[in-house]
Structure 1
């Protein structure tokens, strides 16, 4: 199975249009500190490809910090026969470099910064 790297801009567009579900494979503490709006958490430490929300009407796009762990998760999907082959190019790091928004939590105050909530 060949894997596809989806650009942050194309991923954001697919999420806006409801054409994709984004799966974050980072660990809970990473997800809790900063995440992409709408991303679902399926951490690598407990990753089970068969538990992913596969829906034939939407693409499933995996992501992590830099695309390394999401690439490993894609390999696990292939080994399990789960038809997921897309991940976010450059992970959340490239997403942020391209100016796309994230939800952040201030660890000192617990204040949540979500640009989509105003």
Structure 2
């Protein structure tokens, strides 16, 4: 299994790379999870329907996977590798680690439908 070779990036590393425009962050959580709260700039490619061939071209950016805790993003990397993609990195600990580090998220208030940035 490839999962043991997945590189865990820290929330600070992912934030710096996002801010610098160096990575394309792919969130593999399900649409309802993504809609409720996400990392600004992440694209949603749910693991339940994940197709490595559908990933956007990242040009000169590095693709980094992300999920809730790190398990599903590692699975997505395994699927990408099996399809011939050379991906190796994900946000270690997922959005839970991101939030624990005090980094901002975009969330949806289900009652009002308002989108807000939280930091």
Q: Same fold (TM over 0.5)?
A: yes
Q: If the length of structure 2 is used for normalisation, what is the TM-score?
A: 0.92
Q: TM-score, normalised by structure 1?
A: 0.93
Distance 2:69 2:57 in 1: 23
2:53 paired with 1:50 = yes
Q: How does 1:71-110 map to 2 (within 5 A)?
A: 71-110=74-113
Q: Deviations over 1:29-72 (max 9, x none)?
A: 00000000000000001101121124351110000000010011
Consecutive unaligned residues of structure 1, counting only runs of 5 or more, are: none
How many Å separate the matches in 1 of 2:59 and 2:87? 11
2:70–2:93 contact (8 Å) kept in structure 1? yes
The aligned length equals 116
Q: Which runs of 4+ in 1 moved over 6 A?
A: none
Unaligned runs of 5+ in 2: none
